[in-house]
Structure 1
Amino acid sequence: MSSKTLFSMLIMLIVGSSINAQFFKKLTKKAENAAQRTVERRVETETSKKTDQALDSILEPGSGGKQAPDVGNQGGDAPVNTGNTPSGNTNAGAPAASGEKSITIYSKFDYVPGDKLLFFDDYANDFIGDFPSKWNTNGSGEVVTVDDSPQRWMELLPGYNTYYIPNAPNLPEEYTIEFDLLTYGMDNKTSSIAGIGVFLSDDPNFDEGQNHASAWIPVGQYGAFDIGVRNHIKGQGRTINNDIRADIRKAVLNQPHISIAVNKSRFRLWVNEEKYVDIPQMIPENTLTTLKFNVNNIKDGKEKIFISNLKVAEGGVDLRRKLLADGKVSTNGILFDVGSANIQPQSMGIIRQISQVLQQEPSMKLKIVGHTDADGSEENNLKLSKDRAQAVKDALISVYSVSSDRLISEGKGESEPVGDNNTADGKAQNRRVEFIKQ
């Protein structure tokens, strides 16, 4: 049979079949929708890029608006496993949050991370495809990378009674929790009750416990869904059982940074720089020792949820008192873009508190000292530490109107470690900024 005859038969089958015609019609429609989503994403990306460049020109003059590469993956291929060897994360904090940013928002952001690190994991020492070594679960999961970014993520699989538990010490009275969230495949068909839960429990294993508190972060897109807050106190039952209205749909698609502060019974939660939860009597005091995560109501295989850069730290109290009392305060809560002096927005709560001390004490002068971990060369780390200290100084001047003659900055690179540079925890401790009264 000739190729011409075969071609003619194929055309007749396509044209003559109503099923095939409907299929191609649907395929065309999907292509049109995909093209529209691509255009919308590009417009949003360009808008965010311009906003970031304007911000960088204020926080870091001369930076040219350079940003860390975006590892977002909405609407593209699913996150994939690449390589099979552990790799370090050079002087990296959490990824920068995408979306619009402004000095006004920064100046009001009041989250302050704890200053004594209890747990940190970016999966740098785990093999791609393995379950992370510093976690436990009664389900399953794996470490993955996204596109060509070195950033590692852990995929959490759905299940009503499936928990993911970091091997962290028992939670103290006052502490903070931070992590980055990455979603894939979320759209208008995602369930209204789909999301990720953060649980604080008196049970160290895979159960809610007799005393517990939780926050449920929704990921659905077809409506502005609520952040759920619940607790249970032995002998009293639920004293908190509420849903707080929050439209975080855009944030969910752009790698939001989640921050939580527990100060005895008080519970607060921020998504990026916006606080959504502040409940004064939510946590059963001196009983909740274990942090857990749970993912539920997502479509297995189509929708995915990942987390990275989990940081648990004791403290998160008023740094102003410590600086005034001791004349010195050190924090690893000021985060920067990878290998850069660009300050990440979730760090501005600390800088805000420092500015308040300077406002309260008009004669006080401060030295700002930057430190790095030991990844990279000593020369590069020394320069990076100087640049980061200068960036903090610039933020105090430009954002909070502190007089420049009250501030000096210097960098010490990797020369004064306080933790083990061979571990992720130690590196996170070494990446710090000090404020010293002069």
Structure 2
Amino acid sequence: MTTPQQSPALDPEESPGTGAAPESAAPDRDFPMRRGCPFAAPAEYAALRTDDPVARVTLPTKKEAWVVTRYDDVRELLSDPRISADIRRPNFPALGEGEQEAGAKFRPFIRTDAPEHTKYRRMLLPVFTVRRVRAMRPAVQARVDEILDGLLAAGGPVDLVPAYANAVSTSVICELLGIPGENLEFFRDVTRISGSRHSTAAQVSEALGGLFGLLAEVVAARRREPRDDLISKLVTEHLVTGEVTTEQLLSTLAITINAGRETTTSMIALSTYLLLDRPELLEELRADPSLMPAAVDEFLRVLSVADSIPLRVAAEDIDLSGRTVPADDGVIALLAGANHDPEQFDDPERVDFHRTDNHHVAFGYGVHQCVGQHLARLELEAALETLIRRVPTLRLAGSGNDVTVKHDSATFGLDELKVTW
């Protein structure tokens, strides 16, 4: 198993206890914190939950913000009407250099508040219901089989991230929307640049501009000649009626693609790596494939690839675990912190496919909870089950130390996972 360089854990005797330090004191730690193991939250989160569950940190932008690590606090914060997701607020806790500027320009709906956020969410919800997603299973399975056929025909070794994980997630969302999916690496590049914490505002704008250009062509074509796809539905029911502008529709489509494909790509690759690293789990799934839905939920909890996606600003003073987050301060609800909280999950570091009441927050919580979570589960189940069943000799091509981990992206995951069979 790869062990990227790990930041030193907090010393419980030196860490400020809840309320032990004045809230005006300068933060004594930086954020984000790196994972020491790709299958677990950063080691510092455990100490924070115990000693400083609502902690002040310094971000890469040099802004200060709060991070929240306890399960109950994360759920309370994300369901509090006094919390704002509006990226235009001055103290929005963006983690990348160009993130806030580009977000304020393109206005992704996940970075907006009601009633704006509500309008766009209601546009998408009918497509992502449990019933609609179930009906998509045969088409998703056929696409997964087709991609794996090509992979096996080409032979190993192969980098599973672009050749399988990205191919599955990107082609499924492209087919759903009705977008040409021939150049799968184009969409991966857009997300790689727009999601990197090192990209400038100009670089993010250029990458997203290319995506907007492609989407604008498809929207114009569907306006002339609608088809049986999501873009056609949104064009005829919301654009033509004047409910949204073309720019608003393009922004909604862009974030649906970016957020949907990147998180699923990361989960497919990282879950596969976890199974190869722990063969007893792999054998358990092979022996009982009916465990796959529960396994996917456990992977979602343990891996928590969208850990720091819930970036917020307090619109009013908010009290959590004896601390007050002042109005206008940035605050980050750490999903991996919540999903590894021993107060909620017994032995949280253990991967347990028989865990009951697995009420994880891997998809967020509250009004901004991921609208596409049912589709994500379907893709993960199909991609992992098919790979396990059809490639019984799957193994790493090299050692775990050869696996490349993404530490500086909005979504945690792998840059490269070389496998063979």
- Structures share fold, TM-score greater than 0.5: no
TM-score by length of 1: 0.27
From the CA coordinates, give the structure whose radius of gyration is larger: 1
Q: Which has the higher contact order (CA 8 A, sep 6+)?
A: 2
Q: Which has the higher strand share?
A: 1
Q: Which has the higher helix share?
A: 2
TM-score by length of 2: 0.28
